[in-house]
Structure 1
Amino acid sequence: MICLDCDDLFATWRQQARWLLSHGVEPSQVSWETAELFATDLELPATPGPFQARIPLALVEQLEAAARYRGEQRWSLLYEVLWRVSHGDRTAMLAGDSLGSELHRRLKQVSREAHHLHAFVRFVALAPAESAPGRPEYVAWHEPAHDILESASSHFIGRMGRHRWLIATPRDGVYYDGEQLHHQRQCPAPWQQLAREAEDPHGELWLTYYSHIFNPARLNTRAMQGHLPSRFWKHLPEGALIPGLISEARTGKQRDGQAGSVGARQGKRIITGG
């Protein structure tokens, strides 16, 4: 078994995979798992092998996107797909194939996580003293399930204009200085602290607004958690309100179709159910 470490970098893995292919090393003979029980007992020659693989560009793009998925056999599965396609079996790229099905599942998970970043990041404006020249004006904390920050955060460049902003995660971080996006694979501790401790000066106003527009009569908890997974609630300003609003809806307000503060006002009671 050949045990390799690509440091979770696609460029490094790609170089290693190309070398392995050139020497005809089958997927069963190589692993990128860091917790292997057995040390490497095979070594690759110092020079490239004779096999020259022809890889379609579409596959390279698929593999690069799927490489952002965190999970077991993260890199080994990609090499198995690469091996089959390089030897003439392009069905490994298709969702109808057993291996291709897993590849496409990972692609969907990565794409969905990028959507979560775009939808659920909440930037907080720093006070003028905190956002001095060279420091971000807006900060956000996010906890993605996959390594999508570097590729997906450019989404905010056009939306934030020339403002400087920072997104910190438990792993990596990005900082936009108004002209260029900088990615740090290991998020600096000061970035993390700044993002996690920032207080939104308009937070109370937003909570008041959210609690008033929440419609218990239209609550569908399953659909809500499908679009807004509960793991993100703790990082959203309105997240602390959601469990209570759901509880109130289930204990009567869903039937009445109105929030408690609205129902307490004078006027006729509206019944939505039959």
Structure 2
Amino acid sequence: MHSARFDGSFAGWRQAARELLQQGVSADQVTWYSHDGETDLFAAGTPCATPHPATTTIKVPRQLLDLLESAARYRCADRWSLLYRVLWRVSHGDRSAMLAGDADGSELHKRLKAVRREAHHLHAFLRFQPCAVENGPDFVAWHEPAHDILHSASGHFAERMGQHSWLIATPQDGVYWDGQRLHHQQHCPQEWQQLAQAPGDEGQQLWLAYYGSTFNPARLNRSVLENNMPVRFWKNLPEGPLIPQLMSQARAGAQRDGQAQAVAQRSGKSIRYRTGSDEVLSGSAAPDLPR
């Protein structure tokens, strides 16, 4: 057995994988050890020295490297061994390892899909709030992704936040945008985590007011809500504690009115409209105006 030790990054894995391929070491003969403590739990054998580089040239499709880099963000015990197994097969002429119809390819594409979905969750469920600390970033946010998508997916916010500085911290890593450049820390500093988990009250109240006013009880479908906004994110959303309360109000009558309680209590004309197979009465769709 061969032991491949690297720094836990895709670039480090790629260098180690290249050396193993050059030495002709097959996928079932490698145990992966990263410096961040992650070990391939499905491999066996006694660790030994990483092989020395050889001069053999290995060529694989650029598309494969892009797929492997994305799949490397998927957290699991055998993330690195699957990547090397696919790489080994493709480098030896078996390109079916890249396809969803193959056993390894199917697992690879399952991980790619999960990584893309987790990046979407970051974009959809991250809540920036004003920083409560003087001389800190303009905005901070705390997020707990299931996979290592923060670095690759956070450029989305750099394009939308202009020159405002902001910080996103997670239990694993963190990113800081200074208005010009994105800085990534593979191990999130403790001070970053503290800033992100202690936002100002002003931001909290703004999110609560926004979510409470836009929530539409007439369209409430709990299973759809939980599928599109997984419950695991609720604890870190400013509006998270408000969601069960709004669902309870919907079942208690707000769903019949078709509006949030505060809106339905206002005077106005009532109209009827249909949602699915149910007819809903709206009590304040058109407020009375002075004549």
TM (norm. structure 2) is 0.84
| Equivalent AA in structure 2 for residue 96 of structure 1 | G
Alpha-carbon offset, residue 35 of structure 1: 6.5
Cα shift at 1:54? 1.4
Deviations 1:70-116 (A, max 9, x none): 01210000001001100101111111222111111111111111111
Shift of 1:269: 6.8
Matched, 1:119 2:121: no
The one-letter code sitting in structure 2 at the alignment partner of 1:103 is L
Report the counterpart of residue 223 of structure 1 in structure 2. Answer: 224
| Structure 2 residue aligned with 1:60 | 65
Instruction: Tell me how far 1:212 sits from its aligned partner.
Output: 2.8
What are the ranges of 5 or more consecutive residues in structure 2 without an aligned counterpart? Answer: 34-38, 280-291
1:160 Cα deviation from its structure 2 partner? 1.1
Tell me whether 102-111 or 205-214 shows the greater mean CA deviation: 205-214
Partner of 2:5: 5
SS at match of 1:4: strand
2:48 corresponds to 1:48: no
1:80 aligns with 2:85: yes
Supply the distance in 2 between the matched residues of 1:197 and 1:150 (Cα, whole angstroms). Answer: 22
Matches of 1:147 and 1:111, distance apart in 2: 11
- RMSD between aligned alpha carbons? 2.3
The answer to whether the 8 A contact 1:2-1:41 is kept is yes
Check the 8 A contact 2:218/2:256 in 1, yes or no.
Answer: yes
Point out the structure with the larger strand share.
Answer: 2
State whether residues 234 and 240 of structure 1, in contact with CA within 8 Å, keep that contact through their aligned partners in structure 2: yes
Task: Provide the residue aligned with 1:198 in structure 2.
Answer: 199
Match of 2:25 in 1: 25
Q: Distance in 2 between matches of 1:267 and 1:261?
A: 13
Is 1:210 matched up with 2:196?
no
Residues 35 and 155 from structure 1, CA distance in 2 versus in 1: closer, same or farther, beyond 3 angstroms? closer
Contact 1:257 1:270 in 2 (8 A): no
What is the percentage of aligned positions where both structures have the same residue?
58
Q: Would the alpha carbon gap of residues 49 and 142 (structure 1) be closer, same or farther in structure 2, given more than 3 Å must change? A: same
The 8 Å contact of residues 216 and 259 in structure 2, kept in 1 or not, is answered as yes
Distance 2:191 2:53 in 1: 44
Q: Is the 8 A contact 1:142 1:167 kept in 2?
A: yes
**Corresponding residue SS for 1:206:** helix
In the TM superposition, what are the counterparts of 1:1-274 in structure 2 within 5 Å? 1-32=1-32, 34=39, 40=46, 43=49, 45-48=51-54, 50=56, 52-127=57-132, 130-132=133-135, 135-265=136-266, 273=278
CA distance in 1, matches of 2:228, 2:240: 14
CA distance in 1, matches of 2:53, 2:156: 41
- 5+ residue gaps, structure 1: none
Q: Distance in 1 between matches of 2:158 and 2:214?
A: 29
Q: Is the 8 A contact 2:5 2:16 kept in 1?
A: no
Once the two structures are superposed, residues 235-268 of structure 1 have per-residue CA deviations (whole angstroms, 9 ceiling, x without a partner) of 1111110011122323443344233344445567
Aligned positions, number: 269
Letter in 2 for 1:21: L
Following the alignment from structure 2 to structure 1, what is the Cα–Cα distance between the partners of residues 145 and 107? 20
| Aligned AA (2:21) | L
Whether the aligned pair in 1 keeps the contact of 2:31 and 2:40 (CA below 8 Å) is no
The whole-number CA distance in structure 1 between the counterparts of 2:103 and 2:138 is 47
